[in-house]
Structure 1
Amino acid sequence: MLAIIGGTGLTQLSSLEIVRREVVRTPYGEPSGALTFGALCNTPVVFLARHGYGHTIPPHQVNYRANIWALKEAKASAIVSVASVGGIRDDYVPGALVIPDQIIDYTWGRKSTYFDSVDKPVRHIDFTRPYDEALRQRLLAAAASAGETVFDGGVYATTQGPRLETAAEINRLERDGADLVGMTGMPEAVLARELDVPYAAINVVVNCAAGRSSSEQGIHFDDIEVVLQAAMMRVHNLLEHICKD
């Protein structure tokens, strides 16, 4: 069963044939909301809104451990994360869809492992390739089948939030090699790796990063809403095709 985590702009899947919703408890507390079980193009799917179904949970307070644990317990065979991001690279313009292949983590204070209690031995995992490559290729193939143009690869910088970045911080991220900036890619990806659940992401560029192009003097939130509405229709199309393929 495919699990889909929706971020900003994707708090529900309109084409999902809902079978049931289930409130889940985990050893790590409550997830962001009830799990929604259903079918997308006749394929079983479980959906979770990362920020809650009312979009009330800021990035730094999302219970990532509970979310990933709950999806694993729900028998998810793979997790596709959808997240809105800012574009640092010149060609990652608003409306672009990116299937990233690398992460740089700038967050702090987030619970980022399941192996930090005295009754569990420390586990060091290989995180050389943070996204599951087979799942990335499935997303790319689904995009091609859906007729959607996507970028293959990109370095996702995860910042703490909830504020957006300064222009100087974006310059620093670019020097570090980042192409995209968001607030939720970590520790989501590493927690999925710890539980051996394949994980990949669809990044939706909703604005130029601070200090760049149309955002040179500031971020225009009204423009973001317009971009989100159009881009999420394309994301829906991509998700439907990954379920068909």
Structure 2
Amino acid sequence: MKTCDADIERKLLLTALQHKKPEARNYILANCTPEDFGAEECAEIRARMNVLMRSGKDLGDIAIFRSDPTLSEEAQEALACGRGSIRAASKMSQRKIKRMVQVIQDYRKIRSLYENAQIITDLCTQQYTEETIQQAEAALMEAVKALREDRGKKVTHFGRGRSEAEIKAWLRNQMRPEKNRFVPTGLPHLDKHLTGWRRGDLVVISAPRGGGKTAMLLQMVISQFRAGFNVGIASLEMDEDQLVER
């Protein structure tokens, strides 16, 4: 995953460096930090940069890239002393260039989540995980008990009794930028390592059969639902009727 990500960043950035318009190259280099580039990738980048420098074109983009503090020492040295003779030629539109930047940023977010998940997995011992699951089960039972005692509330389909205009207004309200916030998972021990979930997150819970996956999942769902989020649940083990019952 990480190798694929770095390879995509390298190819997109090299393409951007070929762009004729200085402002397009400026945009790319100001928004991309290829911290995962190795020696071979840096050699290609510095070669294209040297062509741009010798051509007398706008050097603002090169300055931005070379002063990037996130580059490794190897990359900094390669960019400072490299030589090359690759011609710069591209007819890509600035709109497509900006789209490439978005792709790079999306891949970087995915890689960050993946690496954080690995860190959390390494931190969680078997005993620690079991304690977290037990706490999730206890919190879930308390929530179920509270729902059973509150006989005054009725559960109905979201769209029942609402007009199309009312539903669209609700959706617009939910999609406002301020709604894009983090929500606690409902599990204190897990929240110590995470900031919570956000709209559109995909959460995968894996454990042996009977390991408390459903209990943990439902506790997270309850926390999301209380915060006004719609949540979809899918189980790879139990059928739909059993999942609804749980």
TM-score by shorter chain over 0.5: no
| TM tier relative to shorter chain | under 0.3
- Pick the structure with more helix per residue: 2
More strand by share: 1
Considering Cα pairs closer than 8 Å and 6+ residues apart, tell me whether 1 or 2 has the greater RCO.
1
- Give the alignment's TM-score, normalised by structure 2: 0.21
Task: State the TM-score, normalizing by the size of structure 1.
Answer: 0.21
